[in-house]
Amino acid sequence: MDEQHTVRRRLVVVGGGMVAHRLVEALTDRDLDGAWQVDVFAEESRPPYDRVALTSFFSGRDPDDLLLGEPELWHRDGVRLHTNAAVQRIDTERREVHARGRRFPYDALVIATGSYPAVPPVPGSDLPGAFVYRTVDDVTELRAWATTRHLKRPVRGAVVGGGLLGLEAAGALTAMGVETTVVEFAPRLMPIQVDEGGGEGLRRLIEKLGVNVRTATATSKVRAGSNGRVNRMDFADGSKLPVDLVVFATGVRPRDELAREAGLPVGDRGGVVVDETCATGTPDVYAIGEVACIEGRTWGLVAPGYTMAEIVADRLLGGSATFPGADTSTKLKLLGVDVASFGDAFAESPGALEVVYADPVAGAYKKLVLSDDAQTLLGGVLVGDASAYASLRPMVGQKLGADPTAWLLPEGASAAPAADLPDAANVCSCNNVSAGAIRCAVSEEGCTDLAGVKACTKAGTSCGSCLPLVKKLVGSELEKSGVAVSNALCEHFELSRAQLFDVVRVQDLGTFSEILERHGTGRGCDICRPVVASILASLGTGHVLDRDTARLQDTNDHVMANLQKDGTYSVVPRVPGGEITPQGLIDIGQVASDFGLYTKITGGQRIDLFGARIEQLPSIWQRLVDAGFESGHAYGKALRTVKSCVGSQWCRYGVQDSVALAIALELRYRGLRSPHKIKLGVSGCARECAEARSKDVGVIATEHGWNVYVGGNGGFTPRHAQLFAEDLSTDDLVRTIDRFLMYYVRTADRLQRTAAWVEEHEGGLEAIADVVIDDSLGIGADLDAAMACHVDGYVDEWAATLADPEKRAQFVSFVNAPDTQDDGVGGAIDNRGTVIAGPTLEVRR
Amino acid sequence: MTLTPDRVTTWTRICPVDRLIPERGVAALVDSEPVAVFLLDDDGSGEVRVHAVAHHDPFSNANVMARGIIGSVGTGEDYRDTVASPMYKQVFDLATGQCLTEPGVCLSVYPVRLVDGHVEIGHGAPPSGP
Ligand SMILES: Cc1cc2nc3c(=O)[nH]c(=O)nc-3n(C[C@H](O)[C@H](O)[C@H](O)COP(=O)(O)OP(=O)(O)OC[C@H]3O[C@@H](n4cnc5c(N)ncnc54)[C@H](O)[C@@H]3O)c2cc1C
Ligand code: SF4
């Protein structure tokens, strides 16, 4: 190979934000020859994260969950991310940047430094207790400030700025229990996105949520109390407002200071001036994202920034992409209120007509802007109910067809004409994905489901507001290409697990033969049989070893132990909440010792005994049952454990008795069969020592009760559980978990853990909360009854087995030579003699 | 290929038919070889159907086949009764022993007969592979 090829060109990226991330991802995805060595300098301490989702930090999301893309990106060959590394200077003469006291040469330089929050020059805006809202550090400080004031009354806060960002900040404050006032200089909220009518509707909805709104109000001063901290705001009209904190959300300015010093031209209102290829006038220097001034203006949204990143990636690899213009459409949920604005929202096009639907009582305001012949959609504003946004936005510039008012009526909203959408229509504005690209992903790239299309096109991966539309497009395209959109369980059942669950429940079917006869074909298989076993078990029908269910069970469920690689089994007695007496430990130890079993403490706070032969299981269990133990269901798709920290009984910090609750929950849900294993955790205070948020259901004690989080798991794709309900009493908590679990058991797919179920559930976590907490489907009582039936019907499977000679007789090595040991199982113990506990084998020290 | 009944030199009686659980397997020792024996449901012909294949799972190298789940694949001409290994879930044709999910691997198959309500398994020359 010729020498030139092996020398990589050096790309330096200044700034490690959202747009820089997209640039590196796009470039390295396509730079297959490794032409570029990429160095990213990031001032913040974290790898690029999803700033758009910053507010979710307040609903309990871990900052690490906000990180963008695959962490593997930063380990790709030729990619280096320098965090805590602000660039101090750009030297375009010598083609190098200064950071961390060193110089780094570049062959190409990309400035992606984003913006900083612009704080108006109000006296006192820098006092302790005054905040901005831009970075993870900002929100971390804000939260600490708001939650550690020990006042005898609620904390009071003000947000200066009633725009998008200000309302988000107000939502965050309210969520922390702060009494919040939004102060806006303009005569209405969100003056940039919505018109007067929309602003009025928004105000009403927001006030209903207990947030005070003051429009047309100028702040003249922030005053400190005797402790030097913020305690009052003074307004231009002479009025005052007592406050404990102030958040400034008054717009952003491009961080163009390095560029200015380097002599690069900046726009009138700031921003590094670039042409339609994102190039500055200086060779090999580009600017992208919020810091770039393109077509004479800067963009405070992520979508245009992503487009610029793609352009520069393309240019660096020899392409010729140019900036196609950007879309300012926005849809958000602020304090639970939907707001969307798109296209020509202010009807500025000549001759534009407006069609308005307003329902002041419900607080809904919707407006479409149409061309002068009332045929073509130009834009619109939706406040209160923005469900039509996903369908309408891609229609901008298209003929609306039917009576436009139909789109505005509450029920017309979801009439998404996905099939008719022209290929050119932009469906995902964050990532600039057209309807055509989505169709193509299905018809040509061979994607067969939503997840595949998301991965392939990136559609729906940023703000997610277009997902319903993407889903419809994928569905109709799959149908068109003849792929039946199948959620069939396997070749024997056309139905999905959830559908099968329903028919079995409604038709009251009790045996596999009946179910197969009515709804399936063939004899079933190792996929559908265990699913039916689990459904029957969830509905409370029979023992796992009963003759008809026996045929359905995976060997684990059949022998009530976990098959290991050498054909032996492991045995796990239940240790509710991880609490065990000294005698219990001795009994388990004695059993392990007598049967020569290897012992290991599990992650679920109990003890796993390995190396049991099938014929030993009844004698082992006889001993365990006699000592007071019961099945731990480690073998089942069922409740596994409720892990707990030691809690208020011992811990200096504990605020509730986490162990007692964990035991109660474990005893309540033990034996509950489910689509996948279920784990719970309970921590006695916010320090979270039980790692409850890595569980399907995590409970964390608060001063007032319990917070419950759902949808977490460890494993291959770890997920943090998300906050579901706060400060519940123990009774409310138990009912919430009852319903959540039962609803999951009934409606999830085979082997779908709660995290995936929540994600795939129409409407996500909120919709599940509607069902579970607000009983929107009216099935609450039914779910409660089903759980009560489970709790009442519980029997220990192992005790039942031991009591039944016919069942017990099934545990033999050979049916015709029950006393002969099978040499074809049990290699693991012999091979690892040094690590085995037991009388014959030494324990490793 | 299977040991055909005419090469059988000995039949080993293993247990009464009603000791078997429909649609599940048990392990048996036949001439010191571990064999997995399955009782299938009556398919309408009124015939008691018992299959016997090697208990040894070639993929995991452990004797576990008798603990697999019974099932079927296909319909009509292509219909097969199957057993899935409990370890790594490969599926085998019960009648021929062929692995259907990873072709080329095969379990030995043993002839079975019922005498006086008892299951008997034939062996003779060592059972051979394909
Ligand atoms: C709370 C909130 C909600 C938002 N919601 C939306 C929304 O719903 N929709 C939408 O489209 N947009 C939204 N935005 C705006 C969106 O986040 C930005 O448009 C986007 O992050 C811009 O990306 P960027 O890479 O240009 O800048 P940034 O993401 O700000 O990244 C710039 C990075 O460069 C670093 N940097 C600056 N100077 C230097 C230096 N000298 N050396 C090294 N590093 C440096 C900064 O520390 C920063 O990390 C929101 C923003 C916030 C704060
Ligand atoms: S979570 Fe809280 S109560 Fe539990 S052990 Fe940790 S500090 Fe103590």
Residue A485 to residue A474: CA distance in whole angstroms: 10
With both helix axes pointing from N to C terminus, report the angle between A497-506 and A730-747 in degrees, rounded to the nearest 10.
Answer: 100
Find where tokens 């388990």 sit. A588
Question: Band of the pLDDT at A483, cuts 50, 70, 90?
Answer: low
Domain segments of chain B as ranges = 5-123
CB contact under 8 A, B63 and A567: yes
Spatial contact of A279 and A286, defined as CB atoms under 8 Å apart? yes
Q: Does B58 touch chain A (CB under 8 A)?
A: no
Q: What are the CA-CA distances from residue A329 to residues A193, A341, A379 (Å)?
A: 9, 6, 9
pLDDT digits 0-9 by tens, A46-105: 999 999 889 888 877 788 888 888 888 898 889 999 999 999 999 999 999 999 989 999
ipTM for this model: 0.90
Give yes or no on whether A130-250 and A562-793 have one common fold.
Answer: no
Q: Please give the average per-residue pLDDT across A449-463, as a whole number.
A: 78
pLDDT digits 0-9 by tens, A114-163: 999 999 999 999 999 999 999 999 999 999 999 887 778 889 999 999 98
Angle at A382 between CA A380 and CA A386, to 5 degrees: 125
Fold topology of B5-123: Rieske Iron-sulfur Protein (2.102.10)
Residue A832, pLDDT > 70, answer: no
Q: Is residue A288 classed as helix, strand or coil in its secondary structure? A: coil
Beta bridge partners of B33: B30
Q: Is the whole model's pTM more than 0.80, yes or no?
A: no
Sheet holding A639-644, edge to edge: A639-644, A678-683, A697-701, A706-710, A722-728
Higher pLDDT, A654 or A421: A654
Residue A389 to residue A379: CA distance in whole angstroms: 10
Nearest to A491 among B73, B84, B87 (CB): B73
Q: Does A524 touch chain B (CB under 8 A)?
A: yes
Probe ligand 1: pick from A14, A18, A462, max atoms within 8 Å of CB?
A: A18
Task: Report which bound ligand comes closest to the CA of A647.
Answer: 2
Q: Is residue A459 classed as helix, strand or coil in its secondary structure? A: coil
Residue A419 confidence (pLDDT) = 52
Domain boundaries A3-116+254-316, corresponding CATH code: 3.50.50.60
Q: What is the largest CA-CA distance in chain B?
A: 38
Beta bridge partners of A97: A90, A104
Tell me the two tokens of residue A15. 């700034």
Beta bridge partners of B37: B52
Measured from the Cβ of residue A437, the count of other Cβ atoms closer than 10 Å reads 21
Alpha helices in A670-779 (DSSP H): 730-747, 754-760, 764-772
Give A567's contacts in chain B (Cβ within 8 Å): 60, 62-64, 87
Domain segments of chain A as ranges = 3-116+254-316, 130-250, 420-486, 562-793
Question: Band of the pLDDT at A314, cuts 50, 70, 90?
Answer: very high
Separation of first and last alpha carbons in chain B: 5
Q: Select A562-793's CATH number: 3.30.413.10, 3.30.420.10, 2.60.40.420, 3.30.70.3270.
A: 3.30.413.10
A130-250 has CATH 3.40.50.720 classification: no
Q: Does B7 touch chain A (CB under 8 A)?
A: no
Fold topology of A420-486: Arc Repressor Mutant, subunit A (1.10.10)
pLDDT digits 0-9 by tens, B56-115: 999 999 999 999 999 999 888 889 999 999 999 999 999 999 999 888 899 999 999 999
Task: Report which bound ligand comes closest to the CA of A655.
Answer: 2
Best CA proximity match to A647, nearest among A604, A693, A705, A690: A690
Residue A4 confidence (pLDDT) = 47
Residue A524 to residue A530: CA distance in whole angstroms: 10
CB contact under 8 A, A523 and B60: no
CB contact under 8 A, B71 and A816: no
Alpha helices in A458-576 (DSSP H): 467-480, 497-506, 512-519, 528-538, 547-550, 555-559
CB contact under 8 A, B62 and A824: yes
Q: Please give the average per-residue pLDDT across A368-382, as a whole number.
A: 86
Any idea of the CA torsion for A538, A541, A542, A547, to the nearest 10 degrees?
-110
**A490, A492, A531, A551: best to mutate for the B interface, most B CBs within 10 A:** A551
